[in-house]
Amino acid sequence: MAEIGPIHHPDEDVLLDYAAGKASQATSVLVATHLALCPSCRAEVRKFEALGGALIEAEKPATMSADALTAVLSRLDDSEEDEARPVEQCDAQTLALIPQPLRGYLGSGVDSLPWKTRGIGIREAVLDFGDPAIRTSLVRIAPGARVLGHTHGDLETTMVLKGAFNDSTGRYARGDVAVATSDLDHAPVAETGEECICLIIVEGGLRFTGPLSRLMNPFVRL
Ligand SMILES: [Zn+2]
C-alpha cells in the first residue's frame, strides 16, 4: 500500500525558527525528521529560508556576498541529507523506520537503545541532545496500550515514526506531529495490530493526572 503523507504538521512558527536556525537541537532534529517525510513542509521551509536569505542580502549589502543566499539556501539540503554526520551501522528495521536526521542519534538501532518500562505496554528510551531542560525520547507503545492521562508543564511535541495513536485531538500516524500544550489533558492510545513508536520532546515536564500517577514518577525524572 502506498504511504500517505503526514496530515498533522509542526506549527508555522516552529518551521520559521527551524529555518532561521533558532530551534533547539532536539526540535531541529524532530523538524528535520518530519521534513524527510513531508514534501509540503519541505517547500514551506525552503520558502522561509529563501526569504531569510533575501533579508540578509538587503540588510547587509556591504558585508554579505551573494554567497550568503546560496549558503542559506543550501542549509535545507544539508539538514535533509546531513551527510557530514557519521551514521553508525544500523539494523534493517532502523534503516526502514528512522529517517536519516534522527538515525545518527540511535547508535546501532532502535532495539539497542536502553529501553525502560514506563507502564503497561509503554517503554521509553531517553536520547541525549545535550539540554537537560528538554527531555527527548523514543517511546514504544504496545498495540492497544494507553498512555496515562497527563498534562504538560509547557509543551510536548510528538512525532509518530511507526504505527498510529489516537487521542482526543485526532489520529496520528507515521510522520504526523502532535503538539500538546499545558491546557490539554490527553491520554494517547496506540491502535491495535501494530506497536506505535514516537519521538517525543517535552519542555517543562509532565504531570500525570490519573489515579496511578504516582507510579509514573520515573517518567518525569531524568
Ligand atoms: Zn509537514
Q: How far is the CA of 146 from the centre of ligand 1 (A)?
A: 26
For residue 107, pLDDT over 50 is answered with yes
Confidence of residue 147 (pLDDT cuts 50, 70, 90): confident
Q: Tell me, yes or no, whether 92 lies in a domain.
A: no
Note the pLDDT of residue 209: 61
55 and 140 assigned to the same domain:
no
Q: How far is the CA of 9 from the centre of ligand 1 (A)?
A: 4
Round to whole Å and give the CA distance between 54 and 72: 9
Retrieve residue 16's grid coordinates.
520559521
126 and 209 assigned to the same domain:
yes
Residues 198-203, mean pLDDT to the nearest whole number: 92
130 and 213 assigned to the same domain:
yes
For residue 61, pLDDT over 60 is answered with no
Note the pLDDT of residue 213: 53
Q: Tell me, yes or no, whether 29 lies in a domain.
A: yes
Note the pLDDT of residue 53: 74
Q: How far is the CA of 38 from the centre of ligand 1 (A)?
A: 5
The contacts of residue 48 (CB under 8 Å, 6+ apart) are: 15, 16, 19, 20
Q: Tell me, yes or no, whether 106 lies in a domain.
A: no
Residues of the chain with pLDDT > 90: what percent?
Answer: 51
Note the pLDDT of residue 130: 86
Q: How far is the CA of 37 from the centre of ligand 1 (A)?
A: 8
Q: Tell me, yes or no, whether 52 lies in a domain.
A: yes
Q: Tell me, yes or no, whether 207 lies in a domain.
A: yes
77 and 123 assigned to the same domain:
no
Phi, psi of 158 (to 5 degrees): -120, 130
45 and 140 assigned to the same domain:
no
Q: How far is the CA of 41 from the centre of ligand 1 (A)?
A: 4
For residue 221, pLDDT over 70 is answered with no
179 and 131 assigned to the same domain:
yes
Q: How far is the CA of 59 from the centre of ligand 1 (A)?
A: 30
Q: Tell me, yes or no, whether 55 lies in a domain.
A: yes
For residue 96, pLDDT over 80 is answered with yes
Q: How far is the CA of 100 from the centre of ligand 1 (A)?
A: 16
Retrieve residue 46's grid coordinates.
525552503
143 and 212 assigned to the same domain:
yes
Name the range with the highest mean pLDDT among 82-86, 126-130, 133-137, 158-162: 158-162
| End-of-domain residue from the set 63, 81, 99 | 81
Q: How far is the CA of 3 from the centre of ligand 1 (A)?
A: 14
71 and 122 assigned to the same domain:
no
Please count the other Cβ atoms lying within 10 Å of the Cβ belonging to residue 5: 13
Q: How far is the CA of 45 from the centre of ligand 1 (A)?
A: 10
Q: Tell me, yes or no, whether 88 lies in a domain.
A: no
What does the angle CA 63 – CA 48 – CA 81 come to, to the nearest 5 degrees?
Answer: 90
33 and 130 assigned to the same domain:
no
For residue 74, the domain's CATH number is 1.10.10
Residue with the bigger pLDDT between 183 and 158: it is 158
75 and 118 assigned to the same domain:
no
Q: Are β-strands 116-119 and 177-181 bridged in parallel, bridged antiparallel, or unpaired?
A: unpaired
Q: How far is the CA of 39 from the centre of ligand 1 (A)?
A: 7
Look up the domain containing 133 and give its range: 113-220
Residues 82-98, mean pLDDT to the nearest whole number: 73
The contacts of residue 191 (CB under 8 Å, 6+ apart) are: 143, 144, 163, 164, 165, 166
Q: Tell me, yes or no, whether 87 lies in a domain.
A: no
Q: How far is the CA of 43 from the centre of ligand 1 (A)?
A: 9
Q: How far is the CA of 44 from the centre of ligand 1 (A)?
A: 9
Q: How far is the CA of 6 from the centre of ligand 1 (A)?
A: 6
For residue 133, the domain's CATH number is 2.60.120.10
Note the pLDDT of residue 187: 81
Helices (H), the chain: 12-19, 25-37, 39-59, 66-81, 92-97, 100-103
146 and 76 assigned to the same domain:
no
Q: Coil, strand or helix: which one is 22?
A: coil
For residue 101, pLDDT over 90 is answered with yes
Q: How far is the CA of 126 from the centre of ligand 1 (A)?
A: 24
- Structural domain tally of the chain? 2
190 and 121 assigned to the same domain:
yes
Listed range (12-16, 25-29, 60-64) with the worst mean pLDDT: 60-64
What does the angle CA 135 – CA 140 – CA 141 come to, to the nearest 5 degrees?
Answer: 120
